[in-house]
Structure 1
Amino acid sequence: MSNYSAASIRVLKDLEPVKERPGMYTRTTCPTHIVQEVIDNAADEALAGFARKISVRLAADGWIEVTDNGRGIPVEIHPEEGRPAVELVFCKLHAGGKFNKTESGNAYRFSGGLHGVGVSVTNALSTRLEVEIKRGGGVHRIAFAGGTPVEPLQRIGDIGPRTTGTAVRILPDARYFDSPRVNLAQLTHLLRSKAVLMPGLLVELEIDGEEKKSWCYQNGMADYLAEMMPGQPVAPIFVGEKFVTTDNGFAIGEGATWALAWFEEGGGKPESYVNLIPTLDGGTHEAGLKSGVFEAVKAFAEHHAILPAKVKLAQEDVCSKMTFLLSAKVLDPQFQGQTKEKLTSRDAYKLVSQMVRDPFELWLNSHAEHGRKIAELAVKAAQNRLKSTQKVEKKKSSGIATLPGKLTDCESDDIGRNEVFLVEGDSAGGSAKQGRDKETQAVLPLRGKVLNTWEVERDQLFRNNEVHDISVAIGVDPHALEQIDSVDLSGLRYGRIIIMSDADVDGSHIQVLLFTLFLRHFPALIERGHIYVAQPPLFRVDHEAKGHTRKHYCLDEAEKEQILHKLAEEGVNPNRITVSRFKGLGEMNPDQLWETTLCPDTRRLVPFQASREEIAAMHAGFTLLMGKGEAAGRRAWMEKDGGLVEADI
């Protein structure tokens, strides 16, 4: 047995974590993202109103230089660390000027920086990095190699007191990237977007041996959207913005700017940003924009009697032909991963939806001719959707099978949109019925634990009421793995079958029993991706902020600790923080359940999908774990490998 002692525990210091696991901090295909971190810092200076020009130069020898005329990174000695502030910014993870966003006077309130990680990653993954700062009447210089200072900060010259700025020169370390070269298309798009989102900002790109490119948009989004449009829109571009001005549950200054256009054949790829950071995979701010737009068009269409009988608009009908630019300002954005490609903040959904709806509805009614064209385009899309939708005849009481009486069904016949929630308990079922979208969401409450069906013969399944109700509700008969190709799924009534149980041990047990049922007796649904698991939060963290309460929902203990740590870094008084643990879904009111578990734009769903081969491979494991005659095997497995399992006991 190898010696495992205190000496075996390795503590990674300074920038070592980045070098050990660069993929956790950046995209390792090429160095574009580590250059973007420097550009984003320059853009934050422009967003705060201090920089009017950003320049990027790519040299033939591999060096990349990013220059701005902002205030310059502070060079003074940090009072606690005893090192120059600029050295801390480039050498220490979680050091930066963007934590205390709750202070109204903080110029970085709406920056993209969250963790104080960005440019320190750039430094760690560069062979050499040099910084020149113009600030306080002097020119200062510091240099690093592999993330470590090799030339200490020194003043190398004098300059006028009003001349300020920062120049960062980077030589990426090719060892950490698949390709040592920056992706020019991505870099060009990024730089142009900064100019688009900040009208009047001059952005330049200079590549050795090529003509310099520069962008400066006086009309910002309208000019850029006009450039990227695939053709003539059915109505003029609608450009709008709205920001919070009074304390209404959101921070003053939060809000969004947007540009919208509709096309007969659909528009180009939409683009979205949060605090000037491009969110390539969208997120809750995009979902909020679509929700606000949908509600406005729906209200306009109803008010002007544009909707034909029996046609109900869906969000996809309104938004599928729309292209948009969206720039959201969010005080405390939460992203998926350090590369910030998807926004996950639930508050951003509600914020952007509220900001967009009223101005857009006002514009539609003020330009009724254009509004009618947009609404008619949506109606046409809805009619096409209804034509292509597989019609499902819901079986009545006179039919062979009667739908379970405890099933609260949805109104729509569109299987692609419909979903049924298998909910633990009548209490949670009641909240789910009140909080759901009645159009597309059905609820089937389950009483108690579902039967372990792993060794139940198919013809005996329906003796159990819960299993019978599930099968009849979803419209598919039980079948074996060998019958996947021949099973009839034409009666399937819901595109998503979602297991929704409490975030505790009993809830996990119910999930396993339902997994067992679907894996053994409905494998075709797993292979085709119809089964999902909802992830309701276990904790809620509230903190008071300027007269209103901001809430954070946390999936588990780790997320709760992460939120508490972040609030502590922001200087929030612990006495103003309240942590509550949900005892179960039934404890949530309908609004909370909608926001965290039911709403497609803000919930977390995990697909339970596997290939036929993977399903077959799972059978051995499930036989060991769920088989009635496998007690001895389970005990042996627990003694041997039980320590590898994460369990909340």
Structure 2
Amino acid sequence: MTANYSEDSIKTLEWQEHIRRRPGMYIGKLGDGSAPDDGIYVLFKEVFDNSIDEHMMGYGKVIDVTQTEKSITIRDYGRGVPLGKLVDVASKMNTGAKYDSKAFKKSVGLNGVGIKAVNALSSFFKIQAFRDGQAKCVEFSAGIITEEKVLDTTNQKNGTFVEFIPDESVFGVYAYQSEFLETMLRNYTYLNTGLTIVFNGQKFFSANGLVDLLNENISEEVAYPIIHIKGEDIEVAITHGSRYGEEYYSFVNGQNTSHGGTHLAAFREVLVKTIREFYKKDFDASDVRSSIVAAVSIKVEEPVFESQTKTKLGSKDMGPGAASIRNYIGDFLKVALDNFLHRNPDTADALLRRILDSEKERKAISGIQKLARERAKKANLHNRKLRDCRVHFGDKHDLAEASTLFITEGDSASGSITKSRDVNTQGVFSLKGKPLNTYGLTKKVVYENEEFNLLQAALNIEVDMEDLRYSKVVIATDADVDGMHIRLLLITFFLQFFPDLLRQGHLYILQTPLFRVRNKKKTLYCYNSDEREKAIKELGPNPEITRFKGLGEISPDEFSHFIGKDIRLDPVRITKDDVIQDLLTFYMGKNTPERQEFIIDNLRIEEDLLEEMENDADGANAVGVEEEVEHAVEA
């Protein structure tokens, strides 16, 4: 046995080889560019953060970004990387100025890892430094130097230029979504007032910081003008909207901590405490935070994040010898928010009315809420509609991020998924049929309707999103008229009562193949007509072609191919351009004549509709809320 374990078994990998073999350790998931946290955007952020750090230290007021089909260039006008260290900065692990707290006190980057990961995972990587009339350029491929040259003189302004092309041999086929890059860059301007970012010729600039961020992203009417308060290392903007849920934008040292962390938890806690003390009333925390829209940005020395991609803060203090984050935020809000409310009595009155409205609604449904909870608790012990999985989102487990709940229509579809699923990470919730149209109803219906109550309990989102049990909530319906209608009704339900599920990127639509094309040697599954035609050409004359009309027609053995490693999911997103209330009012409200006129004007004949539904199953990068509504109404 020991003969199999010898000196030859011990391998030492070069730095770039280790990154290329284990990219997830450095950038999280790979992805194809259809989700904002896919690896190609992490690569961009790692380079761009270096330019932001220069700006935060007072060097450079403009950053130029250009994105083409596959490449991205970033040019800042900071100090420029020291020429003698240019190769080391791009290719030597644990090398970087961020270890020197005098040079970078409150930086974003990964302490000498980030840009090396970008280099290793790019088929082409170029870095140029301009310093005091001199310049140096180094080019790499997969982390290996291909060219290096020094210019003794240059008329270029000081700064750094980086260009990279993510390696398709690592990422597979990918495509940038300019929308994701634009959102990321806008956030950087909100957090760095005075910074101009030029993206493909379009200028982004913010004069009012987090106030601009909220104004840009809020589509509904707000209860009062935005409260904006700032301290030395903290900035906060707060208002209340008209929808259910809580919406937060949180940042640490300019990094968008999309999964929150200790700073956001502290903010949510001390906000309630401060408001209770101001009004001298012991409000329920849920009444204070219901419908809140807020942004909080803090700066921390040597922040500790819970993952390499820095989406959740783990630090509990502000830095060496500093106060705890909770105490710092608490002391700041206690003074700044209290002063603001005293100086702005109209805002204070409007905030109080919003809290009292939430309290009134909560008390109105408290009786049925108690009964519904007891009913759900009993049902969960032997709920035939929920086939749960073993690992859940939030568990301290390597598979927690993969936890998924499929919401299916009827026992036929759920049976196929249940038999072919991964019992560790994939659960199934089966609907009885078409759910209720919840538009215009109050949250009371969540408790009165047994199916909605059981779904809420399965997800564990009654109070807030903190205890969500699944990373991905996937609507799995047939690609027909009824399936689209059910899909729309579920999206309406989540938009009405749990919009945070969409805001935080947890809701998806499952794509399943429309066709199976096979001969005696090979079987190909096709998601649209183009794929079907290619499959026919590949397999030769007279292959057997089957069109799947529903999920129940796909056998469990086949279904395992579509919900495994090659699963195709379309995220359902809310964008700043989606005026949710207007959309739901038109498509789901009681304005039947207007909707009839719309349907007549957009009517499709059966053949066109069938083709459109097939094309709709194509690998679209994401399903926008408005697109989803339109598809269902056209159907």
Pairing 1:316-465 to 2, within 5 Å after superposition: 316-347=286-317, 348-389=325-366
Change over 3 Å in CA distance of 1:228–1:355 after alignment to 2: same
* CA displacement, residues 326-351 of structure 1 (integer Å, 9 cap, x when unaligned): 21101121112111111122233433
Q: What secondary structure is seen at the aligned counterpart in 1 of 2:45?
A: helix
1:211-610 alignment to 2 at 5 Å?
Answer: 212-243=201-232, 255-265=233-243, 269-302=247-280, 307=281, 312-347=282-317, 348-389=325-366, 484-485=381-382
For residues 602-648 of structure 1, give each alpha carbon's deviation from its aligned partner in whole angstroms, at most 9, with x where no partner exists.
xxxxxxxxxxxxxxxxxxxxxxxxxxxxxxxxxxxxxxxxxxxxxxx
Aligned residues: 374
How far residue 315 of structure 1 moved from its aligned partner, in angstroms, is 2.5
Distance in structure 2 (CA, Å) of the matches to 1:156 and 1:129:
22
Preserved contact between residue 134 and residue 159 of structure 1 (Cα < 8 Å):
no
CA distance in 2, matches of 1:386, 1:165: 59
Provide the identity percentage. Answer: 26
* 1:622 matched residue in structure 2: none
Q: What residue in structure 2 maps to residue 119 of structure 1?
A: 115
Distance 1:188 1:152 in 2: 32
C-alpha separation between the residues in 2 aligned to 1:202 and 1:294?
A: 36
Q: CA deviation at 1:183?
A: 2.9
Match of 2:90 in 1: 90
Contact 1:201 1:217 in 2 (8 A): yes
Contact 2:239-2:293 within 8 A present in 1 as well? yes
**Residue 164 in structure 1 maps to residue 158 in structure 2:** yes
- How far apart are the structure 2 equivalents of 1:58 and 1:475? 54
Which digits, 9 at most, give the CA deviation of each residue in 1:208-237, with x for residues without a partner? xxxx21111122222332222223322211
CA–CA separation in structure 2 for the residues paired with 1:284 and 1:153 = 46
Specify the SS of the correspondent of 1:152: strand
Q: 1:259 touches 1:324 (CA, 8 Å); kept in 2?
A: yes
Letter in 2 for 1:175: S
Q: Deviations over 1:474-527 (max 9, x none)?
A: 9999x9xx993399xxxxxxxxxx9xxxxxxxxxxxxxxxxxxxxxxxxx9xx9
Whole-Å Cα distance in 2 between the matches of residues 144 and 156 of structure 1? Answer: 21
The one-letter amino acid of 2:74's match is V
CA-based RMSD of the aligned residues comes to: 3.2
**How much does 1:415 deviate?**
11
C-alpha separation between the residues in 2 aligned to 1:298 and 1:414?
Answer: 29
Residue 92 (structure 1) shift: 2.1
What's 2:65 paired with? 56
Structure 1 residues 349 and 358, CA, compared in 2 at 3 Å: closer, same or farther? same
- The separation in 2 between residues aligned to 1:108 and 1:33, in whole angstroms, is 21
Which amino acid in structure 1 is aligned with residue 99 of structure 2?
A: F
Partner of 1:202: 196
Distance, in Å, in 2 between the alignment partners of 1:484 and 1:415 is 14
Q: 1:369 to 1:148 in 2, by over 3 A?
A: same
The CA deviation string for residues 263-316 of structure 1, in whole angstroms up to 9 with x for no partner, is 2335884311111111111222112222232122111221xxxx5xxxx42332
Q: TM-score, normalised by structure 2?
A: 0.54
Correspondence 1:181 to 2:190: no
Return 5+ residue gaps in structure 2 as ranges. 34-39, 318-324, 385-394, 396-453, 461-635
Shift of 1:28: 0.7
Distance 1:150 1:282 in 2: 41
CA distance in 2, matches of 1:47, 1:5: 51
Question: What is the distance in 2 between the residues matched to 1:47 and 1:216?
Answer: 15
Q: Secondary structure at the match of 2:251?
A: strand
Sort the Cα spacing of 1:476 and 1:317 in 2 relative to 1 into closer, same or farther, 3 A. closer
SS of the residue aligned with 2:98?
coil
Alpha-carbon offset, residue 205 of structure 1: 0.8
Task: Measure the CA separation in 2 of the matches of 1:320 and 1:6.
Answer: 62
* In 1, Cα distance between equivalents of 2:380 and 2:271: 45
Provide TM-score, normalisation by structure 1. Answer: 0.53
Corresponding residue for 2:148? 152
Q: Equivalent residue of 1:273, what SS?
A: strand
| Distance change (3 Å), C-alpha of 1:383 and 1:96 | same
Structure with larger Rg? 1
Question: How far apart in 2 are the matches of 1:181 and 1:202?
Answer: 26
Distance in 2 (alpha carbons) for counterparts of 1:146 and 1:334 = 29
- C-alpha distance 346-391 of structure 1, shift in aligned 2 (>3 A): farther
Give the Cα–Cα distance (whole angstroms) in 1 for the partners of residues 180 and 371 of structure 2. Answer: 38
Q: CA deviation at 1:16?
A: 2.1
Residue number among 97, 105, 108 corresponding to 1:109 in the alignment? 105
Q: What is the rounded CA distance, in whole Å, between the counterparts of 1:269 and 1:390 in structure 2?
A: 27
